């Protein structure tokens, strides 16, 4: 997980996109930075309900920092997950709960990649990250 880009550089990159096509390409590029889950980790229990694409999320809560792993069957969602993970990685549960993840993600200028049918999925991911 050490190879995740810095959240601020992701934010800068996504906010600089001027069209849906540019955002698409940026998310595809980001998706390549995700460490994929193994087949064994993609259990029904780890699956986030409510996403159009399949999303798995594993949170290992420790005293100081928590490790969060995630994966999806679509590249675009993997790109979004890289942004989310870089935002919350290394934070404690209490710190995560204090963050306004929804507002932060909305500031990334992802437009319809966050809204429409994927919106519920993103909210479900945020819910799970705060637990």
Partner 1 sequence: MAFDPHSLRQDFPILSQQAYDHPLVYLDNAATTQKPLSVLDAIQDYYRSFNANVHRGAHYLSDKATTRFEQARDTVADFINAPEQSHIIWSKGTTEAINMVAYGLEHLLEKGDEILITSLEHHANLVPWQQLAFRTGARLRVLPLTSEGEWEDEYASYFTDRTRIFAATQVSNAIGVHTPLQAMLTQAKQHNAFTLVDGAQAVAHYPIDVQALDCDFYVFSGHKMYGPTGIGVLYGKAHALEVLIPYQTGGEMVQHVTYQSTQFNTLPYRLEAGTPHIEGAIGLAAACKFLTQQDRHALLAWEQSLAHHVYTRLHKESQVAIYSPETHTTLVSLSVPNIHTLDLNAYLDSQGIAVRAGSHCAHPLMAQLGVAGTLRASFACYNTLEEADRFCDVLLEAIDLLTDE
Over the window 9 to 28, marking each residue x when it contacts partner 1 by CB under 8 A and - when it does not, the resulting string is ----------xxx-xxx--x
CB of 55 to partner 1, least distance (A): 12
Q: Angle at the Cα of 37 (from 16 to 63), degrees rounded to 5?
A: 85
| Half-sphere CA count of 94, side-chain side, radius 13 A | 2
CA–CA dist 77, 117 (Å, integer): 12
Considering only the stretches 2-10, 73-81, 88-96, 98-106, report the one whose residues sit in contact with partner 1 under the rule CB under 8 A.
73-81
DSSP label at residue 58: E
Six token digits for residue 70: 């995630």
Out of 11, 33, 75, 128, name the contact with partner 1 by CB under 8 A.
Answer: 75
**List of residues contacting partner 1 (CB under 8 A):** 19-21, 23-25, 28, 52-53, 73-76, 112-113
């Amino acid at each position: 997980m050490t190879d995740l880009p810095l959240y601020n550089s992701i934010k800068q990159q996504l906010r600089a996109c001027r069209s849906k096509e540019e955002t698409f390409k940026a998310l595809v590029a980001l998706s390549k930075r995700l460490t994929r889950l193994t087949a064994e980790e993609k259990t029904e229990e780890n699956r986030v309900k409510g996403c159009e694409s399949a999303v798995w999320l594993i949170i290992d809560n420790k005293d100081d920092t928590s490790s969060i792993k995630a994966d999806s069957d679509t590249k675009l969602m993997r790109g979004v997950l890289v942004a989310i993970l870089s935002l919350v990685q290394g934070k404690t549960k209490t710190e995560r709960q204090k963050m306004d993840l929804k507002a932060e993600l909305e500031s990334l200028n992802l437009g319809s990649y966050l809204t429409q049918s994927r919106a519920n999925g993103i909210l479900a991911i945020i819910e799970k990250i705060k637990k």
